[in-house]
Amino acid sequence: MTTPIWDFVQRYQKAETSRLHMPGHKGAVQLGCEPWDITEIRGADALYEADGIIAESERNATALFGTAHTFYSTEGSSQCIRAMLSLAVSRAARRGDAPRILAARNVHKTFIYACALLDAEVRWLYPSTPGGLCSCPITPAELKAALAEEQTRPAAVYVTSPDYLGQQQDIAGLAKVCAAYDVPLLVDNAHGAYLKFLPQSAHPIDLGAAACCDSGHKTLPVLTGGAYLQIGHTCPEWVAEARSALALFGSTSPSYLILQSLDLCNRALAQDYPQRLQRCADRLAGLCEQLQKTGCAVRQTEPLKLIVDAAQMGYTGYELADLLRAEAVECEFADEDQLVLMATPYNTELDFTRIEKALAILKAKPTRAPIAFDFAPANCCMTLREAVFAPHEQLPVQQAVGRICGSPTVSCPPAVPIAVSGEMLTPAHAALFERYHITTVEVVAKGFTADRTK
Ligand SMILES: Cc1ncc(COP(=O)(O)O)c(C=O)c1O
């Protein structure tokens, strides 16, 4: 496996060339990484017009992921989500379809911003059984019923899988339904880049998705910000269009540290990563079993996540996070009811031992009732775009009831909106905001009405 970007920067740094170009640090060390932090100089290729070392590195990634094409992003899955929605909306325009996305409601807030930017209409798909704030299971039969109701063909179906709690949608089943309706399936696979490297790939592209985003930085050995826009084999025209779609939302100064990290990740993936992944998943499964034996309400929803049901044990997730901190472990996410731990093959045995030490001694207390969360359809007064770009004012939660949500209101993580821009805020929303420690909300300014004649 070649590492052309890393090789180039190594050569450049060793040549001690006088840097009369950006960035301004000129390679002088403050953090330590500056000598390798370059920009698009001669020979370094250009991310959005790649035909040199970046193109070669992306070809390596494409072969590893088995996609029609794997594109690099240095601005996270967030950039890839905007790009894939833009591809879907452009394709819809070409085909005379509606710029409407059918989306499972547990979207990351980036989806809302992307739809606002693209003026895409959203029809939310709600779960038949409430799954909490993070999860929104949609079965193929439910998707089929939703698509059958559509008067005009939508631009795409969009689901998040795995979600923050590691729940996975039936991507293969959903992809079949989408194929029958000739609608592309887009997957927010930010948490699942590694799924490709399990003994049996569970990566969305292998299961029939048209495109997905993978945050390399969440589960692979990649610097924060490194991500992939994965194009599947069902929308081949997107291979030619995706780079421009990414450029539409990206900085003209992509980080070469992140590009090198994505480049070197290819080598790790081609070497012993799959074996190391399996060992990590087995170790986590073993830890889960051991903890369950001690009475800890823990489950492994996907191979690299451990979820502790704090409410069932009579604790809050925040309390468990503090107990873990006392053993020098920092979790990924905690709320009133849950705690999420994310492991990768780059965790050490010491890390697992510390988790066990903190959780195995927990004495379960009387169970607490978890937050009842239901993604109930809300009264929508404006489109996403109208509400996001309208003038806003910030109000304390209780005063926001009866007003229109301006910015999607999220607790971060998991950044899944409790209320979506354009929705009328209700007392039920306010109660949920308070449970998630949200104290103020951005609402559409009083007196503003969308001018629908424009
Ligand atoms: C489900 C989901 N989608 C998308 C994103 C955005 O990913 P990134 O941080 O790589 O931009 C996140 C971030 O946590 C996420 O959890």
Q: Which of 102-106, 243-247, 411-415 has the lowest mean pLDDT?
A: 411-415
Candidate of 215, 223, 301 to mutate for ligand 1, largest count of ligand atoms within 8 Å of Cβ: 215
Beta strand 227-231 with 69-73 is antiparallel
Q: Roughly how many angstroms between the first and final C-alpha of the chain, as a whole number?
A: 53
Atom of ligand 1 nearest to the CA of 414: 16
Quick one: CA dihedral 54, 57, 59, 65, positive or negative? negative
Q: Candidates 73, 74, 77: which one to mutate for ligand 1, based on the most atoms within 8 Å of Cβ?
A: 77
C-beta of residue 342 within 8 angstroms of C-beta of residue 218? yes
CB atoms within 10 A of CB 165: 21
Contacts of 384 (CB under 8 A, 6+ apart): 112, 115, 116, 120, 121, 122, 420, 421, 422
Note the Cα 14 to chain centre separation in Å: 37
pLDDT at 452: 60
Q: Which atom of ligand 1 lies closest to the CA of 217?
A: 10
Output the CA–CA distances (angstroms, integers) from residue 13 to 18, 24, 142, in the order listed. 10, 15, 56
- The answer to whether 274-360 and 384-444 have equal CATH topology is no
How far does the centroid of ligand 1 lie from the alpha carbon of residue 14, in Å? 36
Say if residue 184's pLDDT is above 70.
yes
Note whether 207 and 171 are within 8 A (CB).
yes
Sign of CA dihedral 188, 46, 50, 114: positive
Backbone φ, ψ for residue 67 (5° rounding): -95, 175
Q: Are strands 392-396 and 211-214 parallel, antiparallel or unpaired?
A: unpaired
Query: How many angstroms separate the Cα of 104 from the Cα of each of 83, 98, 125, 235, 425?
Result: 19, 18, 5, 21, 20
The yes-or-no verdict on residue 442 having pLDDT over 90 is: yes
How far apart CA 110 and CA 437 sit, in angstroms, is 21
Q: Is the dihedral of CA 205, 210, 211, 212 positive or negative?
A: negative
Span 160-189, mean pLDDT? 97
Ligand 1 centroid distance, CA of 82 (Å): 12
Q: Which helix (H) or strand (E) holds 121?
A: strand 121-125
* pLDDT for 454: 47
Distance in Å, CA 26 to ligand 1 centroid: 32
Q: Are 81 and 107 in contact (CB under 8 A)?
A: no
pLDDT category of residue 68 using cuts at 50, 70 and 90: very high
User: Could you give the angle at the alpha carbon of 1 between the alpha carbons of 222 and 255, nearest 5°?
Assistant: 35
Residue 361, C-beta contacts closer than 8 angstroms, at least 6 positions apart: 294
SS3 252: coil
Q: Which ranges in 96-215 belong to alpha helices (H)?
A: 109-118, 140-149, 171-180
Ligand 1: atom nearest CA of 413 is 14
What pLDDT band is residue 451 in, cutting at 50, 70 and 90?
low
| 227 CA → ligand 1 middle, Å | 10
Multiple choice CATH, 384-444, 3.40.50.300, 1.10.10.10, 1.25.10.10, 3.90.105.10: 3.90.105.10
- Which of 84, 107, 110, 169 should be mutated for ligand 1, with most atoms under 8 A from CB? 110
Domain ranges of the chain: 4-270, 274-360, 384-444
Gap from CA of 166 to ligand 1 centroid (Å): 13
CA of 119 from ligand 1 middle (Å) equals 21
Q: What mean pLDDT do residues 407-413 have?
A: 79
Pairing of strands 100-104, 121-125: parallel
From the list 267, 287, 246, the residue with the least C-alpha distance to 79 is 246
Structurally, at CATH architecture level, domain 4-270 sits in: 3-Layer(aba) Sandwich (3.40)
- Report the alpha-carbon distance of residue 367 to residue 354 in Å, rounded: 25
Q: Which atom of ligand 1 is nearest to the CA of 218?
A: 10
Q: If pLDDT is split at 50, 70 and 90, which confidence band does 370 have?
A: confident
Measured CA to CA, the distance from residue 178 to residue 395 in angstroms comes to: 41
Mutate to test the pocket of ligand 1, among 73, 75, 78, 187 (most ligand atoms within 8 A of CB): 78
- Measured in Å, residue 401 CA sits from the centre of ligand 1 at 29
Q: Of ligand 1's atoms, which has the minimum distance to the CA of residue 215?
A: 10
What is the 123 CA–ligand 1 centroid distance (Å)?
21
Q: Which of 72, 73, 108, 224 to mutate to test the pocket of ligand 1 (most atoms within 8 A of CB)?
A: 108
What is the Å distance from ligand 1's center to 205 Cα? 18
Interval 44-69 mean pLDDT: 98
Q: Residue 10's CB: how many other CB atoms inside 10 A?
A: 14
**Whose alpha carbon is nearest atom 7 of ligand 1?**
77
Q: What share of the chain is helix, strand, coil (3-state, %, to 5)?
A: 40, 15, 45
* Ligand 1 closest atom vs CA 225: 10
Share of the chain above pLDDT 70, in %: 99
Identity at 126, one-letter amino acid code: Y
Average pLDDT over residues 78-101: 97
Cα 187 from Cα 205, distance rounded (Å)? 9
Assign 447 a pLDDT band (cuts: 50, 70, 90): confident
The set of protein residues with a Cβ atom below 6 angstroms from ligand 1 is 76-78, 108, 110, 160, 164, 188, 190-191, 215, 227, 413
Separation of CA 78 and ligand 1 centre (Å): 6
220 vs 41, 152, 202, 328, 329, CA distance in Å?
28, 40, 15, 22, 20
Q: Please state, as a whole number, how many other Cβ atoms lie within 10 Å of the Cβ of residue 31.
A: 8
> What separation in Å is there between the alpha carbon of 181 and the centre of ligand 1?
28
Whether residue 155 is predicted with pLDDT greater than 60 in this model: the reply is yes
* Ligand 1 atom nearest residue 227's Cα: 10
Give 190 Cα–ligand 1 centroid separation in angstroms. Answer: 5
HEC readout, 256-303: HHHHHHHHHHHHHHHCCHHHHHHHHHHHHHHHHHHHHHCCCCEECCCC
- Going by pLDDT thresholds of 50, 70 and 90, the confidence category of residue 71 is very high
Distance 215 CA to ligand 1 centre (A): 7
- In the beta sheet, which residues pair with residue 392? 444
Residue pair 278/343 in contact (Cβ under 8 Å)? The answer is: no
CATH class (in words) of the domain with range 274-360: alpha beta
- Does 453 have pLDDT greater than 50? no
Q: What pLDDT score was predicted for residue 414?
A: 87
> Which ligand 1 atom sits nearest the alpha carbon of residue 81?
4
Q: Which atom of ligand 1 is nearest to the CA of 75?
A: 11
